[in-house]
Amino acid sequence: MLGQNGCMNTQAVQMFSALLAVAAIGWSLLLVWALSVGSRGETGRAVLQVARDNAMRFVLLLAGVSMLGSLYFSEIAHYAPCKLCWYQRVCMYSVAIISLVAVIRRERSAAPYVLTLSLVGFVVSTYHYFVEWFPQLESQVCAVDVPCTTIWFRELGFLTMPSMAGIAFIAIILTMVAERKS
């Protein structure tokens, strides 16, 4: 992953980020399956138990990696974030901080805050993803110098920064749903 000058290769980080997003999709699908099977299957119960017991750790992992990735892309790769990116960051960074405190303090009371921020972040990232594919949807929310239609990269044919954020938000939401399911 290191280039000739000792810096990380941005293309490699983009692909690694895309693979992490695919892993988050896998986690989300596993949770959807476990939630749908529920108490009818032993494996589904086991998956839900693991999700319940480690929910905030999973959320911290998802939000923390997302936060570090966004910082890499803006501060090292110099991909300027648009306003919609900033709104997503506000939600994701807040989830990362809240989940870190919850893990340290071993608290479960943070779930409603994490869920609310993730829902808001998911809505923004979904809108942003649609704007990338359909630029005519762009409202006047973004600046001329960094339009929301800017696509810095697209990996595996569909994964862009907003879609990866949306996937992380979905995985966090499903983890919180699994944590709350009794």
Quote the pLDDT of residue 120. Answer: 98
**More confident call, 40 vs 73:** 73
Quote the pLDDT of residue 41. Answer: 80
Q: What angle do CA 22, 27, 33 make, to 5 degrees?
A: 125
Quote the pLDDT of residue 7. Answer: 55
Quote the pLDDT of residue 182. Answer: 54
pLDDT band at 26 (very low <50, low <70, confident <90, very high): very high
- 14, 76 contact by CB (below 8 A): no
Which residue, among 48, 76, 86, 77, has the nearest Cα to 165 in the 3D structure?
86
Sign of CA dihedral 102, 106, 110, 115: positive
- 13, 68 contact by CB (below 8 A): no
CB atoms within 10 A of CB 39: 10
Quote the pLDDT of residue 39. Answer: 67
pLDDT, the chain, mean? 90
Quote the pLDDT of residue 139. Answer: 72
Mean pLDDT of 84-101: 96
**More confident call, 107 vs 3:** 107
pLDDT digits (tens, 9 = 90+) for 160-181: 999 999 999 999 999 999 998 7
**What predicted TM-score, i.e. pTM, was given to this entire model?**
0.90
What secondary structure does DSSP assign to the chain, as a single string? -B-TTSSB-HHHHHHHHHHHHHHHHHHHHHHHHHHHHGGG-HHHHHHHHHHHHTHHHHHHHHHHHHHHHHHIIIIIS-----HHHHHHHHHHHHHHHHHHHHHHHT-STTHHHHHHHHHHHHHHHHHHHHHHH-GGG--TTS-SSS-TT--S--BTTTB-HHHHHHHHHHHHHHHHHHHH--
pLDDT digits (tens, 9 = 90+) for 118-133: 999 999 999 999 988 8
Quote the pLDDT of residue 23. Answer: 97
DSSP-assigned letter for residue 142: S
